[in-house]
Amino acid sequence: MEKNNKENIILGILQNGFERAAFSFSGIILNRVTVSGTSVQTDEHFMLGEDQGDLFILTTQLMGDLAGKSYLILNFNASQEIKASMGHLTRELHEAALLEIDNIVSASVISDLSNALGIELYGDVPHLTKIHSSQLRQFLQSEGKDSNEMIFAKATFNINSTEKISSQFIWKLSSNILDMIAA
């Protein structure tokens, strides 16, 4: 099977996972979350959102039969929308809630990948990093040094159907995933 066809199959699997993740995200924050801008490519020069200011990056390391990481990137507006939806939270509880949201939305995609490819796959405990938006590309590039060949996937979660309150969901997956697609 051609590489482009395999990438399209991966995109379909991930799109299903992103949709399930958005549904779960909606249930947690009690606001509508939609998915847009889904893409898969083989180079890391994907378009990042044009968020300004501080970002919360929630990173989940994949474990099992496929190497990779997911990054749920929340801009300030998305972070505050989540906080407002959960009532008055201390900083510590807000950060714990963000980690739990990442755990749930990452698991939605991980389970779709695992089931579709017939592999054992799960996510490690997520980690929270706060950075300024100007450091995002450098952060993601430094995080990807663990494998030479990667597949990159991206989706945007829009909260309340607005781009002002959005988050990016970026996945770096070992290119071995292409070999896992049946011919």
pLDDT tens figures, 148-172: 678 889 899 998 866 667 888 989 9
Strand-strand pairing, 54-64 and 121-123: antiparallel
Largest CA distance in the chain: 52
Structural domains of the chain, count: 1
Q: For residue 155, give the CATH number of its domain.
A: 3.40.1550.10
CB 26 within 8 A of CB 34: no
Domain of residue 11 covers 3-180
Give the closest residue to 173 by CA, choosing from 17, 9, 49, 40.
40
Tokens of 134: 């100007």
Residue 71 has a pLDDT of 93
Secondary structure (3-state) at 151: strand
pTM (2 d.p.): 0.90
Residue 178 has a pLDDT of 87
Q: What are the two backbone dihedrals, phi and then psi, of residue 98, each rounded to the nearest 5 degrees?
A: -65, -40
